[in-house]
Structures are given as C-alpha cells and as structure tokens.
C-alpha cells in the first residue's frame, strides 16, 4: 500500500516510508480543536514537500512542537520538534507527528487508535491515556 497523500489543494505532499504502527487522537486543546489524528514517526521515515507555515501554542511558555499547515488551503500537515524541545531532550528528537486525517479512511481501517491524555499531560515524561484503544473502522 502506498502511504502518500496531499493537503486539500495538493500544494503540500506527505510521503511515509512505512505504514504507521498506530494512530493517536490526542485530547489536548490544540489537537482537539483542529480535529487531528496523529501518527508519531521518525523524521527519517517522512518526506514533506511544499510550503508550510507554522503555529506554536499560545498557552505554553516554551511549546514542544511547531504545528505545520499548508500556506494555501490551511490543512494541518504535521508537527516538528521546537528548538526548546530539542534542547530539553539533550540535542536530538527522533519524533514528529503526521496528520493522518489527510489519508483516505480506507487506508486507516484496521489500524490501532489510541487516545493520549494531552489535557492531563504536564509536557514532560510519558503521557497517560484518556481511554482504552480501539481499531480504526
């Protein structure tokens, strides 16, 4: 199966080297308000092409991620680690998020869907889960 997609206007393309292991529906205010489903992957396994703009959380003094969106149609495409997170993690962050809502529902069918409790997460260490995992349908 090909793991390639684009934003709504096709100005930004996303290519994954492999299928995601799971999909995450985070309940933090940012992810919830954008309706995002994330796949957390190594940046080595993702190619993003096209112009994006970024947004940082206004409710955090030193946010962990830059939220990227298409400069034309506004679709959220991915997040990348901020300089602050890289510094807090000792110089390297081998993690990014890809918005899986850009992919066809048929591609997501059968994947594990998890529910990170972003609202209850302090921003440091592992997060808990808001509820039990499901399978995407």
**Can you name the CATH fold of 3-136?**
2.170.150
Predicted confidence band at 91 (pLDDT cuts at 50, 70, 90)?
confident
CB 118 within 8 A of CB 129: no
Average pLDDT for 12-17: 98
CB 60 within 8 A of CB 2: no
Which stretches does DSSP call E strand in 56-106? 65-70, 76-81, 96-99
Average pLDDT for 56-69: 80
Task: Compute the distance between CA of residue 5 and CA of residue 15 in angstroms, rounded to an integer.
Answer: 7
pLDDT in tens, 108-135: 999 999 998 877 776 666 777 777 888 9
Cα-based torsion angle of the residue sequence 49, 52, 58, 64 in order, rounded to the nearest 10 degrees: 20
The alpha carbons of the chain give a radius of gyration, in whole angstroms, of 14
* Res 57: pLDDT: 74
Predicted TM-score of the model (pTM) = 0.87
């Amino acid at each position: 199966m090909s793991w390639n997609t684009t934003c709504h206007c096709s100005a930004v393309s996303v290519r994954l080297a492999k299928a995601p292991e799971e999909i995450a529906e985070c309940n933090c205010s940012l992810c919830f308000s954008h309706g995002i489903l994330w796949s957390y992957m190594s940046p080595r396994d993702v190619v993003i092409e096209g112009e994006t703009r970024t947004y940082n959380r206004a409710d955090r003094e030193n946010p962990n991620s830059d939220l990227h969106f298409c400069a034309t149609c506004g679709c959220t495409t991915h997040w990348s680690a901020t300089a602050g997170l890289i510094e807090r993690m000792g110089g390297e962050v081998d993690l990014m998020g890809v918005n899986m809502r850009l992919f066809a529902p048929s591609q997501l069918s059968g994947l594990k869907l998890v529910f990170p409790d972003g609202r209850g997460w302090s921003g440091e260490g592992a997060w808990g889960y808001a509820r039990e995992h499901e399978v995407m349908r």
